[in-house]
A and B are shown apart, each in its own frame.
Chain A
Amino acid sequence: MEDKLMIIDPHVHMTSRTTDDYEVMAAAGVVAVIEPSFWLGQPRTQVGSFQDYYSSLVGWEPFRASQFGIKHYCTIGLNSKEANNEALAEQVIELLPLYLHKDNVVAIGEIGYDDQTPAEDKFFRMQLDMAKELDMTVQVHTPHRDKKAGTIKSMEVCLEHGLDPANVIIDHNNEETVKEVLDRGFIAAFTIYPKTKMGNERMVELVRKFGSTNIIVDSSADWGVSDPLAVPKTASLMLKRGIPKEDVVKTCYQNALDAFGKNGKMKEEHWMKPNSIDQSQLFNDNSVLRGQKPRIDDDQIT
């Protein structure tokens, strides 16, 4: 009997991906995704652009995912790059609370540092205060340049603002940062980048060395060169390389569910007992299906 693993990709920018991706992800065992709000490659100039983006993350995109049997959640926040436009950032910060309580919002994210400027620091801290007041999980984006120092600073600022490290996911780790993150009680996420940086061979060795507690694998797939199947591929490589199945399940499924499930919005029952996929359901008159016959499952996925 085939025993396919269930996979959660807790960091993937589906807005930038096509329905083909949703299809292959579902086929590879991805049952749920978390889409952090981030920048779109080109800086936004109006608060309305942010508003419409956030609205699509809580409205259209979960609907689109549902048509392929994938449960979509998101994290809402002002990303570090765009925090540098201070006048605009002020308006975005004001808007955020109106999204944070919505049904598929599981954390504030992805927030943190990019170039570690004073403006980035200011708006990172404002959002940490918000997380504290609303008792929310935080998903931290760590910088690509000066990574180690930036990662340590991110954690220190979180602690300074009174957050519980067990409720903070530090993302985009590597071999240099992982120990510090785990030692301080934070959750360490790893982005598997094709070709560069963190490839999945390296990930296997990391899990072998550090185990599976508080470690999460994600794809961070977006509009750039990236692979939306990074998590299922890594899971399969781990199994091939002799990592115990239990550790694969934890790093590619369970830990993400535990970390992002804390505010009660993300629940296993959402995909274990789905309301069957009904592609004929319309959202604002827009089905993602163009002329294909809707696929309607009248039974649960077994």
Chain B
Amino acid sequence: MAYMHVSKDIYEILSSCAEQEAMAWLLDRIAKIEDSRTTRDLFMGYSLLASKFSADQSMESNPKVSDAITLFSAHKASLLEVSRIYLLVKVLEIDFGHFSPQVNRIIEVADTAELETFLKYLVLLPDAQRFKNTAVEALRTNIATIFDAITLNNLYPAKYFNDQQWNQMYLKAAFMERDLSLIQAVDERANKDLSRIISDYAHERWAASRNIDPMFWRPVTKFIDDVLLLDMERLLSSDNEIENRAGGLCCFYSQDDRALKLLNQYPKLEKQIASKEITWNTLKK
């Protein structure tokens, strides 16, 4: 597991920013929950967090880096968000079997802001794959902030989604015009089925004279076939420089002879890619 001492890490970052009084209350409350094991103590404790920890104050960046802390600072998490995740992680560490139905209940009745929090940090929960339903369900939302919470800057989908779920997410992100560069582990989760979907979707858009985010093409890199080779030709000969770059990047990293040969016709671009002057990270710069 990537996150071994999650509650300890979260405790450290939380206590460095929150007021002592609130932290004392929290420790006390957790002891009470651990002792009584009642739903009431957990739910009341959860509810009270909103009055003890600020939703407006962001975590200060902390030099002691752990995975959990990096994640919180990447999202500019508020004290309230961190305290909510801490409480859930902590009770699940205490007794997963006993507390997971209650944690599920808390997630089930979440409002938009709470759900955003849970989705962003789902990966920190012990046995995180057990909360996959929540993550997959979030793909169906039409509320952009919820969709972004699971899709962007989040390692959960890459770690736990199957190909079908991952592809569904990727396609919908493109469809909703999210910033695709913020999706994690795109190269690792690329698959043959997704590259076919990408090509089909592109043809639909082209037929309707509509543009596609050039970043969208990245997952096809390792799956260039006859159809995609033609798509690459189209990208490389496009008037849009960003599309040229996207096509070039796909071809360069494809390890496909025909694609590499195609790229040879654009020596300047090939050189820029080989020298890492152009990468997926600098595609639009």
Contacts and interface: CB of A to CB of B under 8 A. Distances in A.
Given A58-B111, A101-B50, A135-B51, A284 B44 contact: no
Contacts of B106: 98
Residue from B46, B51, B141 whose CB has the most chain A CB atoms within 10 Å: B51
B46 A98 contact: yes
Contacts of A223: none
A126 to B, nearest CB: 9
Interface in A89-119: 94-103
Size range of the interface on A? 20 to 34
Given A99-B109, A284-B143, A285-B142, A94 B39 contact: yes
Contacts, number: 51
Interface residues of B, number: 20
Nearest to B146: A284
A282 B141 CA distance: 10
Nearest to B55: A103
Contacts of A100: 47
| Chain A at the B interface: SS class | helix
| Chain B at the A interface: SS class | helix
Given A51-B109, A103-B113, A97 B143 contact: no
B51 A103 contact: no
Contacts of B44: 97, 130, 133-134
Interface string B27-56: 000000000000110011011111100000
Contacts of A102: 111
A284 to B, nearest CB: 6
B51 A101 contact: yes
A135 B50 CA distance: 12
A283 interface: yes
A134 B39 CA distance: 16
Interface of A: 51, 54-55, 58-59, 94-103, 130, 133-135, 282-285
Given A59-B112, A101-B48, 20 more contacts: A55-B109, A59-B111, A94-B40, A95-B43, A96-B43, A97-B40, A97-B46, A98-B43, A98-B47, A98-B106, A100-B47, A101-B51, A102-B111, A134-B44, A134-B47, A134-B48, A134-B51, A282-B142, A284-B141, A285-B142
